[in-house]
Amino acid sequence: MKHSNAIHFEISERKVLLRIIDIVMAFSGIFVLSNYFGFEYLDITSKNTVPLIVLISYISVFGTIFEIYDLQQASKLDVSFKNIVLCMSTVVLFYLLTPFITPVLPEARLQIIYFYVTLIGSVFLWRVLYNTLIASPRFHKRILLVGELSNIHNVVSTLTKADSNYQFVGFINSADKTLDAIKYRGLKEYTTTHLSNVIIDEQISEIIVAVSNAENISTSLYHELMLLLERGFKIREYTQVYEEVTKKVPIQFVGKDFYKYFPFSRNNENQLYRFFHRTFDILFSLSGILFMLIIIPFIALGNVFGNKGPLFYTQERIGKNSTLFTIFKFRTMVADAELSKGAQWATKDDVRVTTFGKFLRRSRLDEIPQFINVLKGEMSIIGPRPERPFFVAELSRSIPFYETRHIIKPGLTGWAQVNSRYGGSVEESLTKLQYDLYYIKHRSPFLDLNVILKTLSTVLYYRGQ
């Protein structure tokens, strides 16, 4: 059987490609500027090795913070242009403010403008080329889905929403045919017979199997899939694809074989990782408490006029191993917000939140006092957000594996917080749990760094709730 010669780029490959070509385009722009327009501030030579490495680092770090490597945003040229301008503005500012590792400021200050415009223009040109070429339908991944009729719509909508490069060509019903079988009209249905020919004729690049119980796969389909696998064709299980694309654990597919889905990160037991993680927590929390002491007079003043009540707010939360602790926050709601109705979900545009409280929440400044909890060891900088006992009891009855998130310390920020909205319902809490379990499963220094950079994006874009 011949394989399709079409080229496809995985999510990780596209992100790496964006980063590498960004640097190539920026350097190419500087090269043209210095060789043909008399630009003297920075040129591509060996004597500028350190300044060029610094430029690469700044573009990479601030590019992550300002989301120019977010694939969904990169596919929208207007949003991409805005993010690139913000990113390069910060890159140039930091580059100019670190002359001990970057070139001395040029006498002709106009060269700084040339440098700035060149970085924006060269990187944005690459985004135009990316959307014209790499993100075009010719590079889409053509998928044949094998699954149960009841799951097909959810599988297709979930994967196409998470990654537009997935193009579902059709599906095969995993169960044996019956006379009163229900039809699905959203996709073309193929039969098991001559499956190899379907792969060739439709230029299928991958088969995704989305079956909740392997016993539901018909015998004939099983043999066809085995034959394709033995010939080297790519066949993947849906939960693996789901986790890779969405960065969440698909707990809705987890059954009695739950242990297959939760091979939690070895770093949870790695003493060296835990030592550095705690050291980072202590150093960062000390810096955070110092920052709190600096801004607290201004917060107190805003509280007097905007909140009219106590400055701090304390509440019981569930910590590691389901132990109780008291969390500290700047108050954002009216005093005694739950006195009449008791515990309630916080919602978007919650009427209990004061005007000044909205500012504190959106900027995440209301979380600053929790550095005290981090220093005490009750929380970490990164981890699942601690929830109240009342809601933990309610959610544990509704959502399987909910209390699994308590096997590590709760965090001031986390993978769920930077990837989803506030958990103001059971459905949103389910989504946040999927992200939390992904973090616990893949916990690593690299993922921690990713969370920190995404948290900075949340603060800078004023997305707190």
H/E/C letters for each residue in 135-181? CCHHHCEEEEEEECHHHHHHHHHHHHHHCCCEEEEEEEECCCCCCCC
Distance (Å, whole) CA 119 – CA 63? 12
Rounded mean pLDDT, 114-125: 95
**Measured between alpha carbons, how far is 206 from 141 in angstroms, rounded to an integer?**
8
- From residue 274, alpha-carbon distances to 59, 284, 365 in Å are 30, 15, 27
Amino acid at 418: V
- d(C-alpha 452, C-alpha 417), whole Å: 11
Class of domain 140-246: alpha beta
∠ CA 269-274-275 to the nearest 5 degrees? 135
Amino acid residing at 112: I
Q: What pLDDT does 179 receive?
A: 46
Rounded CA gap, 421 and 164, in Å? 21
Q: What is the pLDDT of residues 370-429, one digit of tens each?
A: 999 999 999 999 999 999 998 898 888 888 888 889 999 999 999 998 888 765 677 888
CATH 3.40.50.11060 domain range(s) in the chain: 140-246
Report DSSP state, residue 311: S
- The residue behind tokens 């075009």 is 136
Q: Indicate the residue type of 257.
A: D
State residue 262 phi and psi, 5-degree precision: -120, 55
In tens, the pLDDT along 136-163 reads 666 788 899 988 877 788 888 888 888 8
What H or E segment, with its residue span, contains residue 79? helix 77-96
Instruction: Name the pLDDT band for 368 (thresholds 50, 70, 90).
Output: very high
Q: Which residue in this structure is represented by tokens 């919650």? A: 350
Dump pLDDT digits (tens) for 6-30. 566 777 888 899 999 999 999 999 9
- Pairing mode, strands 324-330 and 312-318: antiparallel
Which of 407, 418, 413 lies closest to 440 in space, CA to CA?
407
pLDDT of residue 263: 65
CB 181 within 8 A of CB 151: no
Q: Does position 316 have pLDDT exceeding 70, yes or no?
A: yes
Percent of all residues in the chain with a pLDDT value above 70, rounded to a whole number:
88
Instruction: Report the alpha-carbon distance of residue 47 to residue 229 in Å, rounded.
Output: 53
- Strands 188-189 and 312-318, by their bridges, are unpaired
CB atoms within 10 A of CB 4: 15
CA–CA gap between residue 208 and residue 289 (Å, rounded): 49
Note the maximum CA span of the chain. Answer: 83
